[in-house]
Amino acid sequence: MIISAVIPAAGCSDRFGEDKLARSLGGRPVLVRAVEALSRRDEIREIIVAGPPGRMDEFRERFGAVLGFLGATVIEGGAQARWESVRNGVQHVSDDCTHIAVHDAARPCPSDAMLDRLLLAAGEVGAVVPGLRITSTVKKVDDSKAQEIRDGDALADAILGSDCGPSVQVSPIKETVDRNGLVLVQTPQIFEASLLRAAFEQGDADGCTDEAALLERLGHEVHVVEGDPLNIKLTTPGDWPLAEAALARAGSGSGA
């Protein structure tokens, strides 16, 4: 296999509250950690990072030198959705590439053991993703009937013209979902290069939150291998302690 890795990094980190890709994790930015994890693999011959359109000069100034040192090429990503950045990255993949790995820039700690599983499977099947079996009870809620419950002083609210007390939002449960066969999908996801290129040419990626969904929409079979609980995607500040734990585990030489 000759693998090219595409890393979409054009998001705004709205839910995190700051540029999470630039935040230091163990002395290096999150984005650099994600690129490093893939650059260590001999199977991965090139890495393409899709940065934020409209802020490419700032992005290159911040990350360009270190990404270049790691052998990564920086291109402009998409303005609206993640899949646009991946599509742009795929267009820059070398012609002799046999497989394309797509990895979230905000997953800085994929373990070597998990990557071994993915690469082994990718040699046999056309599309493979890492996933974690769901062990908790799963409920489907009706957000259209959500309501906010407040514990405020009505008189104070009337005087101040605002709600002063604490509040909580509640949504009713519609049903309990059978968790058998359900997995939480992670990245990197690895696809035969010709398959992923054709999917972007033939399919409508709107609404697809990952490339596996695009292939599924076109009727292609996607396989799952065991993921890693510490292959955390940084979404909110509360995810940070788990990322630090994953980094500490990697430093100890252990893997999942």
- Tell me, what's the pLDDT at 163? 61
Same domain, 202 and 76: yes
Question: Residue 233's domain is classified under what CATH number?
Answer: 3.90.550.10
Tokens of 230: 């510490």
**Bridging pattern class, strands 127-133 and 189-192:** antiparallel
- Tell me, what's the pLDDT at 79? 86
Residues 131 and 182: their CA atoms lie apart, in Å, by 9
Same domain, 115 and 80: yes
> What string of pLDDT tens digits covers the 256 residues of the chain?
999 999 999 987 666 767 899 999 999 999 999 999 999 999 999 999 999 999 999 999 999 999 999 999 999 999 889 999 999 999 999 999 999 999 999 999 999 999 999 999 999 999 999 999 999 999 999 999 999 887 766 556 666 666 666 778 999 999 999 999 999 999 999 999 999 999 999 878 898 999 999 999 999 999 999 999 999 999 988 999 999 988 888 775 544 5
Same domain, 114 and 215: yes
Residue 146, SS3 per DSSP: coil
Spell out the alpha helix ranges (H) of the chain: 30-39, 56-69, 82-91, 112-122, 154-160, 193-202, 211-217, 240-251
- pTM metric for this prediction: 0.88
Same domain, 27 and 83: yes
Same domain, 23 and 125: yes
Same domain, 72 and 156: no
Same domain, 118 and 143: no
Same domain, 151 and 194: no
DSSP string, 40-78: T-TTEEEEEEEE-TT-HHHHHHHHHHHHHHTTEEEEE--
Same domain, 129 and 143: no
Say if 211 falls within a structural domain. yes
Tokens of 153: 């002083």
Q: What's the total number of domains in the chain? A: 2
Same domain, 53 and 93: yes
- Tell me, what's the pLDDT at 254? 45
Instruction: Say if CB 56 and CB 67 are below 8 A apart.
Output: no
- What residue numbers bound the domain in which 149 lies? 138-177
- Tell me, what's the pLDDT at 157? 64
Residues 79 and 222: their CA atoms lie apart, in Å, by 27
